Amino acid sequence: MKQSKAGRLLICAALVLLFAAAAAPAALANSAQPPMFTVIVPFPPDDLMLSLRFTSGSVIGALPLEKTQKAWEAYYRFFYWMADPEPSFDGVVLVIRSNEYNFECPLPESVFKQYFNSFVTLDLASESVSPGQSPLRQPLLISMHVILTLLIEGLVFFAFGYRRKASWIAFFAVNLVTQGALNILLSGFDPYWPVAFVFLEILIFIAEAIAFAFLLDGESTKLKAVGFALTANTASLILGGLLLTFLPF
């Protein structure tokens, strides 16, 4: 019983340290990212092109947005340094062009108030834009990423020979916390997410190694539990990184 209580205390301490340490690099990454404006487009046609048309200030004319495709979503970005000098956003219009779509949407100046990372969602069906993103988008994406990670690490857990119900409960409890925190911290449109991803995975390995060493002692040695944490997080780092490269974030 004493060992169980000590294990719980160590888990709590490790997770607190994880969250505290993770907050710093996440904030640093956000502060370093270039100022940009992003348009989220679900299920866009391949030939879809977006641009911003400015009608006032020092810049007059249309500036194209850079496109990044992630599975069923595309992100069209405007970096503020693309326009030199910086334009006035009074009366700016989003121009949508493809073989199937040809329309324009005025953008309120308020969407550019969040200078470092503002974004809107373009609905091609209704030919309209809305500030921010759908309220269900991030919870769905985070859930998807966590489930995929649990599948990857669950296979490693099984390969290491863990079969007891208590061990699997510990596996899911620890990973739901650590992987949930990882994906929440990485959610958004930070172009420097790979650096934060590697750093956070290292912190998660430390936290999980401590947690599993005590939670799995009824079915394995502490060394085996640490070996599992190292193997699972290495697999998660490699395969999870590849998944994040192709999936929306």
Question: Which tens digits make up the pLDDT trace of 205-249?
Answer: 888 888 898 888 878 888 999 999 999 988 888 887 787 778 887
Same domain, 173 and 209: yes
Return left, alpha or beta for 107; rule: phi > 0 is left, psi -120 to 50 is alpha, else beta.
beta
Below-50 pLDDT ranges, the chain = 1-3, 5-6, 9, 13, 16, 20, 22-32
Whether 147 and 235 share a structural domain: yes
Domain that holds residue 42: 36-115
Q: In what order do the strands lie in the sheet with 61-64?
A: 61-64, 49-54, 93-97, 102-106
122 falls within a domain: no
Tell me the pairing of strands 36-42 and 117-123: parallel
Do 188 and 70 sit in the same domain of this protein?
no
Structural domains counted in the chain: 2
Tell me if 84 is assigned to some domain.
yes
Q: Please indicate, yes or no, whether residues 231 and 181 belong to a single structural domain of this protein.
A: yes
- 20 with 85, same domain: the answer is no
Residue 20 lies in a domain: yes
Is 120 within a domain?
no
Q: Are residues 184 and 229 in the same domain?
A: yes
